[in-house]
Amino acid sequence: MRLTRKISARLSTGRRSRFAAPAVLLIALLTVGGVVAVISPASSAKTEDDAATIAKGRDLFLVGCASCHGMNGEGIVTKRGNQYGPPLAGVGAAAVDFQVGTGRMPMAQPGAQALRKDPLYNDEEIAALGAFVQSLGPGPAVPTDEELDIAGATTEEIVRGGQFFRTNCTACHNFAGSGGALPKGKFAPSLVGVSAKHMYEAMVTGPQQMPVFSNNVLSPQDKREIIAYLKSQEEAPSYGGFTLGSIGPVAEGLFAWLGVGVLVGGGIWICSQTARSKKNSKKGDAA
């Protein structure tokens, strides 16, 4: 009972407890060994292609993910009851695409938060992993190109996106999407340069501590508008000069003190002694 509670409570999460490497290795070895033994026949309802993709995804999963998430994505709970890797049934292909596509998964090491890095898998492999996880239990799918089409966004849509952004997103990600602090060493990452697809997936799946913004409440149209707003901000020039990091008054204060430093330097120059000539000056009196 407690386990199911945990599982359902932590759908679509990436929480790790810090646990020792040896256990991981052992599990990994067992899993890799298990690959050979387990043969899963393709579902007759699916096409040959889908089945092949899922099978490929499963192969990749068993090598790269199962050590934490379990051989069938059922999740691993440590002896202390912490999540080692959360269960993946129902997180959907969108979660996989976000976590693996932004390099957050697989994690380099357990920590407060999975960090963004270069992805380890190529697009095809990510799609295969996603298909496999989707087969474990239906969840949000990877958004289609149409869902992400922001090219034709009108000014009105962009403005509304800005309103949604300021209401739902700036509290954590800051007014310019520069990111912000969360309790206990966690943080909301910067949104600058993040692809539209990954932003969309993050909203749908709620990776790590981020809450979910499901399509039933914040509709796909709303999400598209938010993304369109952010992209329009990225394209707009920095009207007032260098941005100083777009993190608000703290950076501005530091630069103000830099300005005062420069001006004090000016004052030192103004009051410094100019060069003195030795011509016409009597010898010996200089001391």
Partner 1 sequence: MSADDNSGHELEPFGDEPIPDPGLPEHLPRPTDVDPEAEKRAERQVATLFGLSSLFAVLFCVSYFVFDIGDETDEFLGMGASNVFLGTCLGLALLCIGIGAIQWSRKLMSDHEIVEYRHSASSPEEDRVEAVAALEEGIADSGIGRRPLVRNSLIGAMAFLGLPAIVALRDLGPLPGDSLAHTVWKKGMRVVQDVDGAKIKPADMVIGQLVNAEPEVFFETDSEGHHLYEGAELQAEKAKAAVILVRMHPDDITPVDGRENWGVDGILCYSKICTHVGCPISLWEQQTHHLLCPCHQSTFDLADNGKVIFGPAARHLPQLPLAVDAEGYLIATSDFTEPVGPSYWERDRSDLT
Partner 2 sequence: MSPASTNGTTPAVTKKANPAGAVATWADERLGIATATKKQIRKVFPDHWSFMLGEIALWSFVILLLTGVFLTLWFKPSMGEVVYNGSYDQLRGIPMSEAYESTLHISFDVRAGLLMRQMHHWAAMLFIAAMLVHLMRVFLTGAFRKPRELNWVIGGVLLLLGILEGFAGYSLPDDLLSGTGLRIADGLVKATPVLGSYMSFFMFGGEFPGDVIIPRLYIAHVLLIPGLLLAMIAAHMLLLVYHKHTQWPGPGRTEENVVGYPMMPVYAAKAGGFFFIVFGTVALMGGLMTINPVWRFGPYNPAEVTAGSQPDWYMGIAEGLLRIMPGWETHIFGFTISWNVFLPGQIAPIALLMVVLAYPFVEQWITGDKREHHLLQRPRNAPTRTAFLAAMITLYGLLWAAGGNDVIATTFKLNLNHITYFMRGAIFVIPPLVFILAKRWCISLQRHDNDMLLHGYESGVIMRDAQGGYSEKHLPLSPDHAYTLTARARDEVYVGINGTDANGVSAPRRALDQLRAKLSHAWFATNVQKPTAAELEEGHHHAELEHAHDAPLEGVSADGHQFDGRHDVDDEALRPNH
Q: Which residues form the interface with partner 2 (CB under 8 A)?
A: 155-156, 158-159, 162-163, 166-167, 170-176, 178-185, 187-188, 229, 232-233, 236, 238-244, 246-257, 259-260, 262-264, 266-268, 270-272, 283-284, 287
249 lines the binding site for partner 1 (CB under 8 A): no
Give 130 or 161: the residue with its C-beta nearer to partner 2. Answer: 161
Give 30 or 262: the residue with its C-beta nearer to partner 2. Answer: 262
Element (H, E) at 188: strand 187-188
109 lines the binding site for partner 1 (CB under 8 A): no
Give, as one character, the DSSP assignment of residue 90.
T
Q: 3-state class of 83 per DSSP?
A: strand
CA distances from 26 to 37, 66, 67 (A): 17, 12, 9
To partner 2, the closest distance from the beta carbon of 36 in angstroms equals 42
The closest alpha carbon to 188, from 204, 169, 203, belongs to 169
CA distances from 261 to 222, 241, 250, 256, 274 (A): 47, 21, 17, 9, 22
Among 16, 69, 104, 160, binds partner 1 (CB under 8 A): 160
5 lines the binding site for partner 1 (CB under 8 A): yes
- Per-residue contact flags (x/-) with partner 1 for residues 137 to 156, judged by CB under 8 A: --------------------
Distance CA 88, CA 205 (A): 12
To partner 1, the closest distance from the beta carbon of 113 in angstroms equals 11
The closest alpha carbon to 35, from 132, 139, 109, 134, belongs to 132
Residue environment code for 79-111, b if the CB has 16+ CB neighbours within 10 A, otherwise e: eeeebbbbbbbbbbbbbbbbbbbbbbbbbeebe
Among 115, 141, 218, 251, binds partner 1 (CB under 8 A): 218
Are the CB atoms for 169 and 104 separated by under 8 Å? no
| Candidate segments 41-49, 57-65, 95-103, 279-287, binder of partner 1 by CB under 8 A | 279-287
Cis link prior to 106 (omega < 30° from 0)? yes
To partner 2, the closest distance from the beta carbon of 9 in angstroms equals 24
Distance CA 199, CA 182 (A): 19
> Which of partner 1, partner 2, none does 12 bind, CB closer than 5 to 8 A by kind?
partner 1
The closest alpha carbon to 24, from 106, 103, 87, 99, belongs to 106
Give 97 or 157: the residue with its C-beta nearer to partner 2. Answer: 157
Among 40, 47, 154, 281, binds partner 1 (CB under 8 A): 281
- Contacting positions for partner 1 (CB under 8 A): 5, 8-13, 15, 160, 163-164, 167-168, 171-172, 180, 182-183, 186, 188, 206, 208-214, 216-219, 222, 237-242, 269-270, 274-277, 279-281, 285-286
